[in-house]
Amino acid sequence: MLSVLRVGAPNRSYVLVGVLRLRTVQFIYHHRTMGRSSQAMHIRSLVEALKADGHQVTIVSPPGVDPLKSAGMMPFLRKADHARGLQRVWKYISCECPQFVFEVFELFYNLFLPFRLLPTLWRQPDAVLYERHAYFMFMGVLLGKWLKRPVFLEVNELAGFTRARGLIMERLARTIDAWIFSRANHVLCVSRVLADEVQQRGARGKSVHVLPNAIDPNRFRTPKSGPSVRARLGLESSMVIGHIGLFYRWDRLDVLIEAVKSIREKHPETRVLLVGDGPEMENLKRTAIRLGMESAVVFSGPVPRDDVPAYIDAMDICVLPDSNAFGSPIALFEFMAMGKPCVVPDLGPMRDVVDDNLTGIMFPQGDYGALERALVRFIEDPTLRTQVGAQARDTVLQRHTWVANARIVVQLAAGASSAKRFAHIEQLDCDTN
């Protein structure tokens, strides 16, 4: 089938003509996550998009893990988070083991992996091995190359960048990465920052591609229910500045609370809505109390993934006060899909997605005075909020859906010559020939 795909951004428009409906491809998707939170959302969303396009996907997970069922659950950050069966084992290892012991478990997973992955590879001799990269994991690539299979690596983080739980054996992790990157047929990175680093660590330039996170448009086409959320939380007459996700130190949500305290001197109707949970929750509550902002900061706690669009709809402005330098935050795509104006730090992963002053406002990372000024611009200019939010929604629906990501993966797997042109036009390829 000959298809025409029109993609565009505010100042550019392209038309791609190519073969988008390729033969059915078999994938074996292997991962070593606990199958919860944003990790599982990424896995489930890509797998469902591949299946919807007619391709076959077999997921190989750690024992007791099923990301298709558990996607969107809170990760094991809190002692009160219940787990059953083998999930109890993974929770104990994650929460209780010293860091060095945890990394030893990660390394020894390689010894277990042949028993888990090899039977599936043998049963599907034509399948592509698609693996979510994890620290110290090399056996999947080794088995794939031994069986002469195409190997895809999806990279979401790398040794040397900030990790939520730290990293002791960094040198070993880098050595393993260099070995697997040099042998993978394709390395798909969620940001250009990671793609550049992957090339420096041994990957062939033509094998490296940038494929940011994305959204499923169907999740954001339901009737909007933000007003009911606002009424339930007592935010009916407020200008709501919101954030949703897991609360890590690097998110600097404490700075957001401080910025809104200053903004409220001129705009007292402004309030903060923080949706989610995480290691910083108690610190954020203490910050709100210390600043006398208890009534101005609303903590919803964690909510089911299906309720996320309603909570975003309850926000007037969405913000990422800070972020790590390499990740592709799913929350950003969800904010944009809901047509919300966003304020984000000027980091590589944000530049992969946001056009400054067109689909969001960017501020220099760490310049929290600029963050405050950007928020005030949106507060004082409702027309700007509407225009930026609408353009953000159009852009993410045109260029950042899981279906589009899946088609790029399929084209690469099928060896179609149009694949690199497609990736380049979408500005998702980081070839540096």
What pLDDT score was predicted for residue 101?
86
The pLDDT-based confidence of 90 (bands split at 50, 70, 90) is: low
The pLDDT-based confidence of 241 (bands split at 50, 70, 90) is: very high
> What span, in angstroms and rounded, lies between the C-alpha atoms of 189 and 176?
17
What pLDDT score was predicted for residue 80?
46
Cα distances from 101 to residues 107, 114, 167, in angstroms, run 10, 22, 11
The pLDDT-based confidence of 138 (bands split at 50, 70, 90) is: very high
Find tokens 């069986």 and name the residue: 147
Of 172 and 37, the structure prediction assigns the larger pLDDT to: 172
What pLDDT score was predicted for residue 395?
95
DSSP three-state, residue 29: strand
246-276 confidence digits (pLDDT tens): 898 889 999 999 999 999 999 999 999 999 9
Span 341-359, average pLDDT: 96
Span 207-232, average pLDDT: 89
User: For a pLDDT cut of 90, what percent of the chain falls above it?
Assistant: 68
User: For a pLDDT cut of 70, what percent of the chain falls above it?
Assistant: 82
> What span, in angstroms and rounded, lies between the C-alpha atoms of 402 and 231?
33
Beta strands in 175-315 (DSSP E): 186-189, 208-210, 239-246, 270-277, 297-301
Q: Which amino acid makes up residue 110?
A: N
DSSP three-state, residue 382: helix
Of 89 and 415, the structure prediction assigns the larger pLDDT to: 415
Is the model's pLDDT at 69 over the cut of 50?
yes
The pLDDT-based confidence of 422 (bands split at 50, 70, 90) is: very low
The pLDDT-based confidence of 94 (bands split at 50, 70, 90) is: low
What pLDDT score was predicted for residue 430?
38
Burial 327-346 (b: 16+ CB within 10 A, else e): bbbbbbbbbbbbbbbbbbbe
294-315 confidence digits (pLDDT tens): 999 999 998 888 889 999 999 9
The pLDDT-based confidence of 99 (bands split at 50, 70, 90) is: confident
Residues 6+ positions from 228 with CB-CB distance below 8 Å: 310
Is the model's pLDDT at 1 over the cut of 90?
no
Long-range Cβ pairs for the range 334-337 (8 Å, 24+): 334/215, 334/220, 334/244, 334/308, 334/309, 335/244, 335/392, 336/215, 336/360, 336/392, 336/393, 336/395, 336/396, 336/400, 337/215, 337/217, 337/219, 337/220, 337/393, 337/396, 337/397
The pLDDT-based confidence of 97 (bands split at 50, 70, 90) is: confident
The pLDDT-based confidence of 71 (bands split at 50, 70, 90) is: low
Tokens of 200: 């420096």
Is the model's pLDDT at 348 over the cut of 80?
yes
pTM for the complete prediction? 0.84
DSSP three-state, residue 211: coil
145-192 confidence digits (pLDDT tens): 999 999 999 999 998 886 666 788 999 999 999 999 999 999 999 999
Distance of CA 284 to the CA centre of its chain: 23
Span 343-362, average pLDDT: 96
Number of alpha carbons in the 13 Å side-chain half-sphere of residue 235: 26
Q: Which amino acid makes up residue 190?
A: V
Q: Which letter does DSSP use for residue 310 in this model?
A: H
Please state the φ and ψ torsions of residue 276, each to the nearest 5 degrees.
135, -155
Other beta carbons within 10 Å of 206: 12
Tokens of 47: 């797998």
For the chain, give the mean pLDDT: 85
284-298 confidence digits (pLDDT tens): 999 999 999 999 999
Number of alpha carbons in the 13 Å side-chain half-sphere of residue 257: 24
What pLDDT score was predicted for residue 304?
83
